[in-house]
Structure 1
Amino acid sequence: MKRRTLLAGATASALAGGVVFSDGIVEFARADARDAVSLDVDPGVLSPDAPEATATVRNNALVPVRANLAAWRVLHEGEFVVPEKWVQPLHELAPGESHDYTVRLGGEPTQTGYSDATVRLGDVDPGEYAFRLDVGVGEDSRTLEARFRVESDGGSSEDV
């Protein structure tokens, strides 16, 4: 229903001789982006038998969003796990665009975050983790978070 309102407003302006978005339509589109940008980790459980997942940030909104795609963070019990630092390029995700990260157990932990790198967690304890990324729309920004679990050999961990 929201999208019909936006399209109707844009169409009416276009018929009048040019596309002019009113402040209300622009604010609507920004509000849509605050709710429509998502971050997911699939599958939601990593283990030595299945050590890899994909974290995906997706812009399902009507307007572009900005993010430093290299400034992701992985936390465990509120403490940073990786990376220690990240590079500073600003990226833009167009409407409908997404970006994937590969999250992997084992190996040397990722020390510097890059947008196109595999996120290596190293040898971590079982429990609940969070993959985080900040995104911005207009003057507003928000932190997206996707939770996932790390389990030890042989099943789920009771230590969370």
Structure 2
Amino acid sequence: MRYEIWFKLANEEKENETDFTEAKYKNVIENAITNFNNSGNVARNRKHIFNHSIDEHVLKIYFESDVELESPTKSFRFFSKNLIDNSDDFRALVIGGRLLKGVYTSIYENDGTEQSSIDISDEQMITTLIHWCMGKEVQSAEEKKNKTNTIGRIKALIMECEKMSK
């Protein structure tokens, strides 16, 4: 199976972050991928192949695996969590909101047919998705309400994607 995850990168300059060039993103991702490939997942006879490109502030990560992850959210969670776990720099990018501008993730069959996809640009949904990847639990009533609303919207998106893929 082939999975694609696209992150729309922040392109505005923030204070003290003017050195955050595409080369910096590339370096962070390459290090995270190297760390992930050297982690126990590969040692357990799992095949993971990563590739990526950056085009007009969109980081496209291609992920092939013999491990079937049946939904776009599961593939996103698996991939992101492993990158987050294996890279302090990637974690800093995520927590700093540098990658919270948009997420597109899709699953392809081996013959190249797109099976299902999710395109998310709502910041609250992406934040919830990222926190979910990191295993964070929400605490306050407001956060719980946001989480419930967001998960509902994510489920609705998944259902739409599943309908379109049939």
Higher Cα Rg: structure 1 or 2?
Answer: 1
**Both structures adopt the same fold (TM-score exceeding 0.5):** no
TM-score computed with the length of structure 2 as normaliser = 0.28
Counting helix residues as a fraction of each chain, which structure ranks higher? 2
